[in-house]
């Protein structure tokens, strides 16, 4: 079992290295691959004080627009489900 885990770890490392290399070389497809890799591995970013991510989060804060937001209603299905 350990041998299989070692092999999987090695594959994972190689994939990460290749995606990183592709990103550094400017490969546009690598962006999507990197994002998918991060998402699949549950990698999340934390917006630290003064970082670019915190600045972006500040720009995306729509809390002051609460009174302008209209709640969307779920569309009514034309054919309601019937009991079996």
Average pLDDT of the chain to the nearest whole number: 84
Query: Whole-angstrom Cα distance, residue 8 to residue 63?
Result: 44
Indicate the domain borders of the chain.
1-45
Tens-place pLDDT, residues 58-83: 788 777 777 887 777 877 777 766 66
Query: Whole-angstrom Cα distance, residue 65 to residue 67?
Result: 6
Comparing 6 with 54, which gets the higher pLDDT? Answer: 6
Query: Whole-angstrom Cα distance, residue 19 to residue 82?
Result: 50
**Per-residue model confidence (pLDDT) at position 80:** 65
**Per-residue model confidence (pLDDT) at position 76:** 77
For the entire predicted model, the pTM comes to 0.51
- Mean pLDDT over 46-58 rounds to 83
Query: Whole-angstrom Cα distance, residue 24 to residue 12?
Result: 18
């Amino acid at each position: 079992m350990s041998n299989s885990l070692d092999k999987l770890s090695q594959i994972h490392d190689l994939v990460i290295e290749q995606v990183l290399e592709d990103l550094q070389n400017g490969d546009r497809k690598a962006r999507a691959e990197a994002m998918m890799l991060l998402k699949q591995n549950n990698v999340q970013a934390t917006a630290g004080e003064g970082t670019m991510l915190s600045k972006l989060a500040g720009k995306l804060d729509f809390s002051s627009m609460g009174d302008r937001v209209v709640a969307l209603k779920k569309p009514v299905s034309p054919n309601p489900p019937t009991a079996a």
